[in-house]
Amino acid sequence: MAFGGFKVLENIDLRVTQGEIVGVLGPNGAGKTTLMNLLTGAYAPTAGRVHMMGQNVTGLATAARCRQGLGRTHQVPRPFSGMTVFENVLVAVGHGRTTPAHDPIAVAWDVLHDTGLAMVANRQASTLGLLDRKRLELSRVLATDPQVLLLDEIGGGLTEGEGDKLVALIRKIHARGVTIIWIEHIMRMLMDSCSRLICMAGGQIIADGAPNEVIDAPAVQSAYFGAAA
Ligand SMILES: Nc1ncnc2c1ncn2[C@@H]1O[C@H](COP(=O)(O)OP(=O)(O)OP(=O)(O)O)[C@@H](O)[C@H]1O
């Protein structure tokens, strides 16, 4: 992937198996968000292909990938701030599902009970605290019934206790069989949740494997923690 003549990602060969929860870490500018944008279709790759559930989706726009079961949360939650929490989720139920919901209102309530937001369903989204804004971001994605979920630094800015609650929710979603690719700077969250870690640096994947092995790899220590390799 290049922007003008500037190569941002090179030789990325990443296969994620259905049901995995894969953490992606790496220093600022490593190319993590660019990778996510390629997976969602926000960017078209300069070269290479993206496959999802056996299908080549490289030419598909973001909305079409969403309807095929790909969900994504953003680093900065983007609710419709003038709408209530419930309305935000209801809008998502109506867009982006592979199969339209028979009863969108019931689906929206199910999602809100699931994510712990039912009690604040009638609050305007702009009045929510940070943890609830992140829960709402997750709720809006869950409303589209994703099979693959991409999380872009969803853990930032939370207290440790809030972070634990968010991790518990993400683990619950994963336990239902949703495949998750999770970019995160907060290592503890990834170590608590992921079966596999990938470390990126300089636009490449420099380590991929069991979390403890990846963290201990000399190349990761050097690129991410600044240790001498
Ligand atoms: N639209 C763009 N045009 C030009 N350069 C870009 C664009 N998007 C990203 N880049 C560059 O690509 C590189 C990788 O950026 P990216 O945002 O993917 O890194 P990251 O690993 O997600 O970093 P961070 O952890 O800070 O979010 C950076 O050098 C960035 O400046």
CB neighbour class for 146 (10 Å; exposed up to 12, middle 13-18, buried from 19): buried
Q: Residue 170 CB: number of other CB atoms within 10 A?
A: 25
Ligand 1 centroid from CA 28, angstroms: 8
Q: Which domains, and CATH codes, for the chain?
A: 1-69+146-229 (3.40.50.300), 80-144 (no CATH)
- Pure H helices in 52-193: 62-67, 85-94, 104-115, 130-142, 160-175, 187-193
CB-based pocket (< 6 A), ligand 1: 3, 6, 8, 26, 28-34
Residue nearest atom 5 in ligand 1 by C-alpha distance: 3
Residue nearest atom 25 in ligand 1 by C-alpha distance: 28
Q: Which atom belonging to ligand 1 lies closest to the Cα atom of 36?
A: 18
Instruction: Look at strands 204-209 and 196-201 and give their pairing.
Output: antiparallel
Q: Which atom belonging to ligand 1 lies closest to the Cα atom of 4?
A: 4
What pLDDT shows up at residue 205?
A: 95
ipTM greater than 0.85:
yes
Residue nearest atom 30 in ligand 1 by C-alpha distance: 29
What pLDDT shows up at residue 223?
A: 83
Residue nearest atom 13 in ligand 1 by C-alpha distance: 29
Residue nearest atom 31 in ligand 1 by C-alpha distance: 29
Whole-model pTM? 0.92
CA distance 114 to 139: 8
What pLDDT shows up at residue 228?
A: 55
Write out the chain's pLDDT in tens, 229 residues: 777 677 778 889 999 999 999 999 999 889 999 999 999 999 989 889 999 999 999 999 998 999 899 999 987 778 888 899 999 999 999 887 888 889 999 999 999 999 999 999 999 999 999 999 999 999 999 999 999 999 999 999 999 999 999 999 999 999 999 999 999 999 999 998 999 999 999 999 999 999 999 999 999 998 876 755 4
What pLDDT shows up at residue 7?
A: 78
The best mutation among 9, 32, 184, 186 to test binding of ligand 1, ranked by most ligand atoms within 8 Å of the C-beta, falls on 32
Residue nearest atom 18 in ligand 1 by C-alpha distance: 31
Ligand 1 centroid from CA 33, angstroms: 7
What pLDDT shows up at residue 87?
A: 96
